[in-house]
Structure formats: structure tokens, C-alpha cells
Amino acid sequence: MLKRLTSLLVSTSLLLVILVAVTTKEAHAYIDLASGSYMIQMLVVLAFSSLFAVKVFWQRIISRVSRFLSRIRSSEPGAK
């Protein structure tokens, strides 16, 4: 039940984001230096934090990928 509700909320949110992105009119504005600098800093932080998360969870990621691949290989026709 919770999984279905979460899926419904995520789908609805994505649909609303796409709808807003498609129906937004052209904006006649600019990004000043402070705002642009802040956005660049946020992108750099996002990139480094993503790399750090991969570093911390690398063993868990590899073990799950290898289990997934072994399941796929064992379910192939002709596999032992």
C-alpha cells in the first residue's frame, strides 16, 4: 500500500514538473553574478557530494550489481 502511494506521488510530482516546464512562458530576465556564482557552487557541491557518496557506498553498490548480474546469468536459457 505504501509503495503504491509513493509511486503515485512520485508520478504525480514528475507530471506536474513536466507540465510546468512545458507551459512556462519565455522569461525576460537575467542572472546576476552572485546568483550565477551561487548556482555554480551548488553544482560543484552536488558533483563532489555524489562522488563522496559513491566512495562511501562503493562496496555495497558493487555487491548489489554483481548479485543482479549473477541472477541474470543464472536465469538465461542454457545456463547451469
Phi, psi of 6 (to 5 degrees): -65, -45
Is 80 part of any domain?
no
User: Please, where are the H alpha helices in the chain?
Assistant: 2-23, 33-56, 58-75
Count of domains in the chain? 1
**Degrees to nearest 5, angle at CA 24 with 18 and 25:** 155
Percent with pLDDT over 90 in the chain: 52
Structural domain for 50, as ranges: 2-75
Is 65 part of any domain?
yes
- Judged against a pLDDT cut of 70, whether residue 13 lies above it is answered with yes
Is 21 part of any domain?
yes
Is 41 part of any domain?
yes
Band of the pLDDT at 18, cuts 50, 70, 90? very high
Is 12 part of any domain?
yes
Is 8 part of any domain?
yes
- Judged against a pLDDT cut of 80, whether residue 78 lies above it is answered with no
pLDDT tens profile 20-55: 888 878 878 777 888 889 999 999 999 999 999 999
Place of cell 559513491: 54
